[in-house]
Amino acid sequence: MEKLFKALTFICLTVLLLVGQAVTIFAQPKDFSQATEDLYEPKTNIVLPATVVWASDSQAFSKVADEVRPNTVMVKVNKDLSVYSMSGLRLAEHLTEYLLKTKDKCLTALYIDSAETAQAVKKFLADTDAADMFVVASSQQAELVKIATSFSNKVFGVIDFSDQNYSSKDLSKIIECAMSNEARVVMLPEYLANRSNLDYIRSRLTSVWVKTADNTRSIYTQLTNGVNGIVCEDFNQVYTAMESFNDGRALLRPSFITGHRGLPSTHVENTIRGAQAAVEAGADAIETDIYLSKDGQVFVLHDNSLKRLFNRPDVTDVTQLTLAELQAVDFDMTDEPKEEAPNSVLNSNNENRTKEGRDYLEISYDPELDKIPSMREYLKTFQDSDVVHFVELKTNDPAISAAIRDLAEELGMSDRIILISFNGGFYGTNDGYGYSDTINVLKSTREEWPEKPLGYLGSDGSVFARHDDMIAENGLIGAATLDLMGALEPYNATYNPYYGAMSYDVIKAGRHRGLTCWPWTYNNEEAFAEAYLNGIYGLTTNYTTWASNFPRRFDTSDLKLQNGEEISFKLLNLKGEEVKVKPELIVLEGNPVKMDEHGKLVASETGGSLVMLRANFELNVNDNLPEDFDNSYSLYSNPFLITVYEEEK
C-alpha cells in the first residue's frame, strides 16, 4: 500500500510539474508584434548578400541559440499549431512555445499545407498580433498564404514552386500566382534558377529564394547569380562560401537600370523616340507616366497641365482633352534663355540646359515624330522587345487600371508591365500639377489587377521618410523596416522612394524579409555611383548612358582543355556588348590551375577543377566622381568545371 501511495504521489507531482511548465510557457508575455533586431550577418564583402533560410531539423532550438545562425528558420505547422522540423520531427507542442524560444534570434517561416492550418495561423496572428515572419505554401495551395496573412500587414508571403515541374515558359505565371496570393517572395527549385530566369523575375519586383543543394557548385552558383535568398540544409556551408568573398567589394547582383521618362538627357521626355534611345543605351526598363483622355484613351504625359513643355498654361487638366486634341499640340522648342522661355523643352524638360549646370545638353527633336504618344502606339513600338515598362499611374480616375490592363493583354505585353504610384491622385494647377493623398490608387489597382506587381512611390514627407529618424531615436532598424513594410504590405508593393529619402539600413534589413528597393531619380553622378556600388536593386535615372558600358555579367561554360589552351569566356556590358578584361581564376575545388596573362590554362596535372572568374573594376560615371570616392568593385562568374586532359599519343 505504501509503495502504491508513493507511486501515485510521484505521478501527481510529475503531472503538476508538467502542467506548471505549460502554464509558465503560455503565461509568459506573448508579444510577438516586435521586429527581430538581432539577425546574424556573415563577415563578407558581398554587397547585400542573400538572406539564408534554413530548412530546419531536430536541432532547431540549439542552432538558433548559436552565434552563427540562419536568418530565417523554416518549420512546418499543423492545424493544432504544433511545430515540426521540415523533416517531420516535432519541435514544440504549440507555436507560442516555439516563438518564445526563437523570435528574438531569427525570423520564422511557417510552412502550411491545409485550409484548417491557414485558418489556425490567421487566428493566432490576430490573437497575438504576431509580426515579422513568413507564411509559406506550395504553388498548388498558394491561396493558403492569402488566407493566413489576410489579418496582418506585417507577416509576409512565400510561394514554393519546387512542388511541380515548372519551366522558363512559366515565369510570368509564377509571378502572377505570387502576386495574386499576397506573396512578395517566390521559392524556386535549383534547376529553374539560372541567371536569365532570375533576372526576369527580379526585374518584375519579385524576390527569389532558391532551394540550393549542399555542395560547393550549387552554393556558389546561386551566390554569383545574386539570388535574394538561399534555402539550404547546411547554413554553415553557405556562410563559409559567403565569407570567401573577402577581397574587395563583391557586386554579385548589379542594379537594373531604368530610363526615367525615356532618355530626357538627350530627347524630349516621355516620347517614343526618347524611350527607344534609352533602350538602345541599354536600359533594362523604361519608366513612363499615363493618364486617360476625355475619349477614354491611355496616353503618355507627366503633368496634368500643358504649361510645361508646351507653353499652354490655359490647359490645366489634360484629361479633359481627346487624344486627337492632345496630339495636335506641339512641343515648345523656343531656343531662348530661361527668363524668356521658361516653359520650353530646352529649359523645362526633365533634364535641360539650365539644370545642374549641364549646359552641354542637346535635346533631339523631330516635329513629325515627337508628339504626346498614345499608350497603344508607345507599347506597340516595344512589342518585340523584352524591356520592362514601369508605368506610373498619374490620374485619380480608377478606370485607368482596367484600361492599361486591357491594352497590355490585347498586345500580349502584360508580363512586361509594372504599375507604380504615389498612391494618390494628381490634379491640375496653374503651376502644372498638384497631389492629393485622399485617393488610394494602389488599392483600386490591386483590386482590378491583383496579379500585377506594384511599386509604392514615396518622397520627402511620405511614410518612407521617417525611418532614418526612427533609427536615430531608438536604434531599432528592424522596427523601422517592419513599420515600412506594414505600409507596403496591403498592396504587396515594393519600396520605391526618392533616393534622398531612403535608408540603407532599412534596405539591408529588408532583404531578410523579401523587401526590395527601387529608388528614383538619379541625376547626380556620385549618388548614382554610391547606390550602384551598394547593390540597390534598381536605379531610375535620366542618364541611362552613364551605365551603358558598365560590365554586367560573365558568360561561361564547362571546359575540357589541354594545358596551355585558351580559357574561353565572355563578359558583357549593359548593352550586351563584349568587354575586354583579364580576370583572375579562382579555384573552389579540385586540382590547382591558373590562367596566364594571355588567358591560357596553366595546370600541373590532369583532372577536374571547379573554378570561377573574378575581374576588378573602377566604376566610371560620366568622368565626374570625386577623387577620394572609392569606386572599386569586383564581378564574378558562375562556377564552371575545367577538366584538364592529355592528348593521346
With 80 as the cut, is the pLDDT of residue 30 above it?
no
End-to-end Cα distance, the chain: 93
**Residue 428: its pLDDT value, please?**
42
**Residue 429: its pLDDT value, please?**
44
* Closest CA relative to residue 394, chosen from 424, 371, 417: 424
> In this prediction, what percent of the chain has a pLDDT beyond 90?
84
- What is the mean predicted confidence (pLDDT) over 224-244? 98
Cell numbers placing 32? 510577438
With 90 as the cut, is the pLDDT of residue 16 above it?
no
* Closest CA relative to residue 441, chosen from 429, 428, 452: 452
Please report, for residues 247, 562, 610, the alpha-carbon distance to residue 591 in angstroms, rounded to integers and kept in the order given: 22, 14, 8
C-beta separation of 387 from 378 below 8 A: no
**Residue 358: its pLDDT value, please?**
74
* Closest CA relative to residue 444, chosen from 511, 395, 379: 395
Instruction: Please report which confidence band the pLDDT of residue 398 belongs to, taking 50, 70 and 90 as the band edges.
Output: confident
**Residue 385: its pLDDT value, please?**
97
How crowded is residue 312: how many other Cβ atoms within 10 Å of its Cβ?
A: 16
Instruction: Please report which confidence band the pLDDT of residue 27 belongs to, taking 50, 70 and 90 as the band edges.
Output: very low
C-beta separation of 510 from 228 below 8 A: no
**Residue 569: its pLDDT value, please?**
97
Residue 16, C-beta contacts closer than 8 angstroms, at least 6 positions apart: none
**Residue 638: its pLDDT value, please?**
98
Collapsing DSSP to helix, strand or coil, 586 comes out as strand
Per-residue pLDDT reduced to its tens digit, 471-518:
767 888 999 999 899 989 999 999 999 998 888 999 999 999 999 999
> In this prediction, what percent of the chain has a pLDDT beyond 70?
91
| Cα–Cα dist 487/145, whole Å | 19
**DSSP 3-state percent helix, strand, coil across the chain (nearest 5):** 30, 25, 45
C-beta separation of 571 from 581 below 8 A: yes
| Cα–Cα dist 82/79, whole Å | 8
**Residue 12: its pLDDT value, please?**
46
Q: Which helix (H) or strand (E) holds 18?
A: helix 2-27
C-beta separation of 488 from 456 below 8 A: yes
With 70 as the cut, is the pLDDT of residue 425 above it?
no
* Closest CA relative to residue 512, chosen from 23, 14, 36: 36
C-beta separation of 555 from 564 below 8 A: no
Please report, for residues 335, 342, 348, 542, the alpha-carbon distance to residue 338 in angstroms, rounded to integers and kept in the order given: 9, 5, 8, 21
**Residue 501: its pLDDT value, please?**
84
**Residue 354: its pLDDT value, please?**
79
**Residue 636: its pLDDT value, please?**
98
Angle of helix 195-202 relative to helix 171-180, nearest 10 degrees, comes to 40
With 70 as the cut, is the pLDDT of residue 238 above it?
yes
**Residue 408: its pLDDT value, please?**
98
**Residue 434: its pLDDT value, please?**
47
With 50 as the cut, is the pLDDT of residue 620 above it?
yes
Please report, for residues 374, 555, 582, the alpha-carbon distance to residue 579 in angstroms, rounded to integers and kept in the order given: 38, 11, 10
C-beta separation of 255 from 531 below 8 A: yes
Instruction: Please report which confidence band the pLDDT of residue 253 belongs to, taking 50, 70 and 90 as the band edges.
Output: very high
Q: What's the per-residue H, E or C state across 311-356?
A: CECCCCCHHHCCHHHHHCCCCCCCCCCCCCCCCCHHHHCCCCCCCC
- What is the mean predicted confidence (pLDDT) over 375-384? 98
With 60 as the cut, is the pLDDT of residue 6 above it?
no
Per-residue pLDDT reduced to its tens digit, 124-166:
999 999 999 999 999 999 999 999 999 899 999 999 999 899 9
Pairing of strands 434-436, 425-427: antiparallel
* 621: DSSP letter: S
Please report, for residues 425, 465, 493, 498, 501, the alpha-carbon distance to residue 461 in angstroms, rounded to integers and kept in the order given: 16, 6, 19, 11, 9
Specify which residues 258 forms β-bridges with: 285, 540
Report phi then psi at 294, rounded to 5: -60, -30
Instruction: Please report which confidence band the pLDDT of residue 646 belongs to, taking 50, 70 and 90 as the band edges.
Output: confident
- What is the mean predicted confidence (pLDDT) over 247-259? 97
Average pLDDT, the chain: 92
Cell 509568459 sits on residue: 28
- What is the mean predicted confidence (pLDDT) over 371-394? 97
Per-residue pLDDT reduced to its tens digit, 399-421:
999 999 999 999 999 999 999 99
C-beta separation of 86 from 148 below 8 A: no
Q: Which helix (H) or strand (E) holds 275?
A: helix 272-280
Instruction: Please report which confidence band the pLDDT of residue 396 belongs to, taking 50, 70 and 90 as the band edges.
Output: confident
- What is the mean predicted confidence (pLDDT) over 57-64? 97
Instruction: Please report which confidence band the pLDDT of residue 18 belongs to, taking 50, 70 and 90 as the band edges.
Output: very low
Residue 21, C-beta contacts closer than 8 angstroms, at least 6 positions apart: none
Per-residue pLDDT reduced to its tens digit, 300-353:
999 999 999 999 999 999 999 999 999 999 999 999 999 999 999 999 999 988
- What is the mean predicted confidence (pLDDT) over 432-461? 78
